[in-house]
Structure 1
Amino acid sequence: MEMFKKRYLLVLAIIFLFGSCNGINRSKKVKQKSPNIIFILTDDQGWTHRSHRADPNIPESESDYYETPNMDKLAKSGILFTEGYAPNPICSPSRHSIMLGQNAARHIYNKDLDWYKKTSDWLTIPRAIKKANPKYKTAHFGKWHIAMEPKVAGFDYDDGMTSNNGGEIFEDGFINIKEFTKVSDEYLEANNIQNPTNMRRAGKPSGHWNDENAKDIFGITDRAEAFMKGSIAEGKPFYVQLSHYAVHLSLVSRKETYEYFKNKKRGERHTNPEFAAMLKDLDTGVGRIMDFVKSMGIEDNTYIFLMGDNGGRLSLNQIAKIDHNKELVEAYYSTQNERNIPLRNGKHSFYEGGLRVPFIASGPGINANRVSRTPVTGLDLLPTFTDLAGGDVEMPKEIDGGTMAPLLLNESEEKVVRNSKYLIFHQGSHRPPRSAIQNDKYKLVKYWPSKTDQENRPTIELFHIAEDLGETMNIIEMHSEIAKELELELNKFLDTTNAETGNQKVKGPYYRLMDDLGKTPEEERWDSE
């Protein structure tokens, strides 16, 4: 803990020193040759977890309880993608894929367990941007959870090898909600607290407490603003990534935000005040970034992208409330059992609820109030940012994303050119092996047999997602030829990438790298994902 504090203070001091900007005229428009790029990555924010419609044609795609006025404003100022996809339904593989522009089958779920030791020449977002224009300053603040040190990835400033617990700041230290599982259970039993929806008990409760720097939302924002000020003062274009810990469990918010939602009438689909408060605080952080860009006079030369790292959690299970003495004061069962309707399932799932996420872009050349139904993915961000930064960077064949720049800047453009006409999702190795592949209309989901259950053939489902967004009907028997075509393309891709389609008893690569670096879970209390 002490080591983390020292490093945190050192990084903050360097950034603020670099960011001192006496003499900057905030009212004057700052013109730079290359545009600034701000990327805001939210954690576990579902497609419907916002107060504007994720799809203007679907009324239930808008929350009936949560409030995200700044994200709403951002969506209106630029382009709202109704079919934005995370590269994976779990945060660590998704973050790897976004940073590398490569499908998870090529790295985190590859048969080669030493792949992370061979990435010294792989393109990353900051490396690609600096290839396009070496003048760019780059920074990453917030949750990392990638098997590559941020500085090695090409960032000039960063928060280090952070993971989930990095955002669980409670006053002067960290708190791990797992410690409250036993006392929460005892409280529920002793007080005869009922489980109204017969919800499956979570492995750990959703802990909630009040914190003025909820989930480090405002700390991340402060550090990003200081970095941007320094870049502006130096006359350098910048790329900054704010990877928020919110709205991942545990649930943290400012007291006044929680009190507001506690007193607000619940919706039918969304009811939890603790989650709503944390989401609203996150939205406030987004608003601060938008206001900062305007106040510095750089809005005409700055892009802002926002997306979720994976789909929202399907349920929040039991809630444990903790006071400032770190004592349990109340526990109850949440009624949040289907939080992603009209999408099916949620985080960890290869159905739409696990993969479809908020995806918004705004900036120079992007007309306001646009809605795009072109499927886009986090894999597209690396080539897109590279193009916006100056382009002229040859993309290796392993880059699975395509540039969205033509789509962003030309309303008549309706596609993103990638190395495949399909969107492919995969996991294996240290997680239950499964895959999905989809085109504009159809989606195939495949469950591979595990090594402990080899006698069962893979289970395959086919859905017409263009007409059945909720994936309620498996139509494989009616369209077996389509299923065969999609499965053939999926298998071909997995064979080409040397993807692991079975189970291996191994830690995730982030934790293997942490072992290689000699860091222990006790040092900064890394949590698993």
Structure 2
Amino acid sequence: MKKYKILAVALAVLFMYSCGTSTKKTRIESPNIIFILTDDQGWTHTSHRADPNIPESKSDFYETPNIDRLAKTGILFSQGYAPNPICAPSRNSLMFGQNAARHIYNKDSVWYRSTQDWLTIPKAIKNANPNYRTAHFGKWHIAMLPERAGFDISDGMTSNAGGEIYGDGFLKAREYTKATKEYLVQNQIENPTKMLEAGKPSAHWDDQNPKDIFGITQRATDFMKESIKEGMPFYVQLSHYAAHLSLVSKKETYDYFKNKENGERHTNPEFAAMLKDMDTGIGMILDFVKEQGIEDNTYIFLMGDNGGRRRLNQIAVIDENKQLKEARYSLQHDRNLPLRDGKHSFYEGGLRVPFIAKGPNLKSNQVCEVPVTGLDFLPTFAQLAGSDLNFPDEIDGGSLIPLLLDNNQDRVERNSEYLIFHQASHRKPRSAIRKGDFKLVKYWGKETKYENTPKVELFNIREDLSETNNILNKYPEIATELENELKRFLANVNAETGVRDIKGPQDRLMKEEGLKE
């Protein structure tokens, strides 16, 4: 951990004398930290360019004016990565600052029983400064009780169902599968793009508090008001259920997009409406911070939990009586272009996500091309709170403070120079590892979705963002280095590389605790 101690001294100097044209010359003591985590929002699912040099990285249909505002007044990370291409492992990894291979995909299948003493984001913040108040609102989906993670206030052990609210209860889209099929056949609805049939339709219904967007926002602002009144610094995490399926939105927002001309790459009004409603909630947080006069002492971070879904399949519109109103086929097959694939995939479409930071001493309207990951948030937030970065060796992230304060920085100090992504156990064994511009993708077993598996692929991300050209034979030495490092890491952390018939850890934990969602 010597490098962390050296780095802490250097960063303290950076805090004392910030770079650029900022007029702030003193360290921000005990700043407030707001972390907004969106769900299934792809890298290209904003109305600003995720990479200013790539026109296609901006949606031609979706509208996110408040996320755009956040990017314009802060730092946009064009190569921001979720820790994993699916929500539960990504959220566990975020909370622990650890690669998913160390916990949810470990050979120790009951690891969650020993997390009481693990470091988490709120614990790291409170270790740095016990005066911090901490809260989590929205989707949890982590195999640890929020209070044991160190949160003073939370919505509890919530998961996807928390965003399926319909009136006073929950609505399950799978219950409309049969009715959707019958509607499409009886009404001879065309399937112009030969969209494959899904296990359940992408259901849409109207709600004035879609996905609890405004409930989450209100609880967060109430918490922040209390903290401000008590003169206490705070950390608050808003984990939105949006833009995860189902496609819930306000009626007026849906009507707006239904009457809007489709884009060439993005067309779906149901998803666009839900995304816009979530963006409105984010705008309420930005406005709150300004109205409360705490902009000079508050950092705001935003990230997607994993890449966006590649397709939405059949769309089922449900009325106020919970009856199927209409159905149709989605026209979109590749919603994340120019990135390849989407959620669940270890190609860029599954891993690269919106990633933005804003706060005091940070230059506005800046773009950082250094690859960063959600694993970096634990050390970053802890250092903002005053930590000396003396963390356990298993913390895989590094502090982003050097990048935030100095755009001449070209790397993040972590315990490894490689970015590693992995899944196995109750999911198909897949991995990816990146160093510099090169990325290796490995399939450990046979898969029907991909040709000639198991296999290993190598890509140059800078030259081939869409990962269409496998250059394994051209650079065998680089491929060997990356695969060997991947295997070494997985062996050292005791990661599972096979499959087993078990449920996800949160389900097992809740059963053991006698809890219901």
Q: Scaled by the length of structure 1, what TM-score is found?
A: 0.91
- Please name the residue that 1:138 is paired with: 134
Q: 1:34 aligns with which of 17, 26, 30?
A: 30
CA distances 1:339-398 after superposition (whole Å, capped 9, x unpaired): 000000000000000000000000011100110000000000000000011112421100
The question of whether the paired residues in 1 share the 8 Å contact of 2:447 and 2:453 is answered with: no
Confirm or deny: 8 A CA contact 2:105 2:425 kept in the other structure: yes
Equivalent of 1:335 in 331, 336, 345:
331
Tell me the amino acid that sits aligned with residue 362 of structure 1: K
Paired amino acid for 1:345: D
Matched, 1:193 2:189: yes
Partners of 1:450 and 1:273 in 2: how far apart? 37
Alpha-carbon distance in structure 1 between the residues aligned to 2:184 and 2:453: 42
Offset at residue 411 of structure 1 (A): 2.0
Shift of residue 120, structure 1, vs aligned partner = 1.0
Give, as a single letter, the amino acid of the residue that structure 1 aligns with 2:395: I
1:217 maps onto 2:213 in alignment: yes
SS at match of 1:119: helix
1:495 has 2:491 as partner: yes
Q: Is the 8 A contact 1:46 1:357 kept in 2?
A: yes
Amino acid at match of 2:456: I
Once the two structures are superposed, the pairs formed by residues 225-236 of structure 1 within 5 Å of their partners are: 225-236=221-232
Does residue 436 in structure 1 map to residue 432 in structure 2?
yes
Give the partner amino acid of 1:243: S
Aligned partner of 1:472 in structure 2 is 468
Matches of residues 127-166 of structure 1 in structure 2 within 5 Å? Answer: 127-166=123-162
Match of 2:267 in 1: 271
Matched residue type, 1:67: E
Q: 1:88 aligns with which of 78, 84, 89?
A: 84
Aligned counterparts of 1:409 and 1:203: Cα–Cα separation in 2: 47
Name the residue aligned to 1:112.
108
Match of 1:170 in 2: 166
* Match status 1:311 vs 2:274: no
2:200 corresponds to which residue? 204
- Can you give the 5+ residue segments of structure 1 that lack an aligned partner in the other structure? 1-30, 525-529
Q: Contact between 1:311 and 1:357, CA under 8 Å: does it hold in 2?
A: yes
What is the match of residue 57 of structure 1? 53
Alignment pair present for 1:321 and 2:317: yes
SS at match of 2:356: strand
Give the secondary structure class of the aligned counterpart of 1:421. Answer: coil
Q: What is the CA-CA distance between 1:219 and the residue it aligns to?
A: 0.3
Could you tell me which of 391, 407, 412 is aligned with 2:408? Answer: 412
Structure 2 contact 143–509 (Cα < 8 Å) conserved: yes
What residue number does 2:289 align with? 293
Task: Please give the per-residue CA displacement for 1:205-229, whole angstroms capped at 9, x wherever unaligned.
Answer: 0000110001100000000000000
- Given that 1:32 and 1:237 are in contact with CA atoms closer than 8 Å, whether structure 2 keeps it comes out as no
In the TM superposition, residue 71 of structure 1 has moved relative to its aligned partner by 0.4
Match of 1:25 in 2: none
- Alpha-carbon RMSD: 1.4
User: What is the count of residue pairs matched by the alignment?
Assistant: 488
Q: Which SS does the other structure have where 1:120 is aligned?
A: helix
Secondary structure of 1:325's counterpart equals: coil
What secondary structure is seen at the aligned counterpart in 2 of 1:506? Answer: coil
CA distance in 1, matches of 2:221, 2:311: 34
The yes-or-no answer on 1:250 pairing with 2:246 is yes
Please name the residue that 1:365 is paired with.
Answer: 361
Deviation at 1:168, TM superposition (A): 1.1
439-448 or 391-400, which deviates more: 391-400
Runs (4 or more) in structure 1 with deviation over 4 Å come to none
1:398-448 deviation line (CA, Å, top 9, x unaligned): 000000011101222221000010100000000000100011211000000
1:336 is displaced (CA, Å) by 1.2
The Cα shift of 1:514 comes to 1.2
Map residues 510-521 of structure 1 onto 2, 5 A cutoff: 510-519=506-515
Contact persistence 1:345–1:352 (CA under 8 A): yes
Structure 2 gap segments, 5+ residues each:
1-26
After superposing the two structures, state which structure 1 stretch, 215-224 or 387-396, moved more. 387-396
Paired AA for residue 208 in structure 2: E
The answer to whether the 8 A contact 1:440-1:466 is kept is no
1:297-338 Cα distance to aligned partner (Å, 9 max, x none): 001100000000000000000000001111100000010111
Provide the residue aligned with 1:355 in structure 2. 351
In the alignment, residue 492 of structure 2 is paired with which amino acid? T
Q: 1:202 Cα deviation (Å)?
A: 1.3
Amino acid at match of 1:427: Q
CA distance in 1, matches of 2:232, 2:364: 27
Residues 131 and 393, structure 1, Cα contact 8 Å, conserved in 2: no
Residue aligning to 1:21: none
SS in 2 for 1:75: helix
Distance 1:135 1:224 in 2: 18
Alignment of 1:63-82 (within 5 A): 63-82=59-78
Q: Is the 8 A contact 2:82 2:353 kept in 1?
A: yes
1:343 is paired with a residue whose SS is coil
2:240 counterpart of 1:238: no
Structure 1 residue identity aligned to 2:188:
N
Contact 1:451 1:503 in 2 (8 A): no
> What SS does structure 2 have at the residue aligned with 1:438?
strand
Deviations 1:491-521 (A, max 9, x none): 00000000000001111111110110123xx
Q: Is the 8 A contact 1:432 1:503 kept in 2?
A: yes
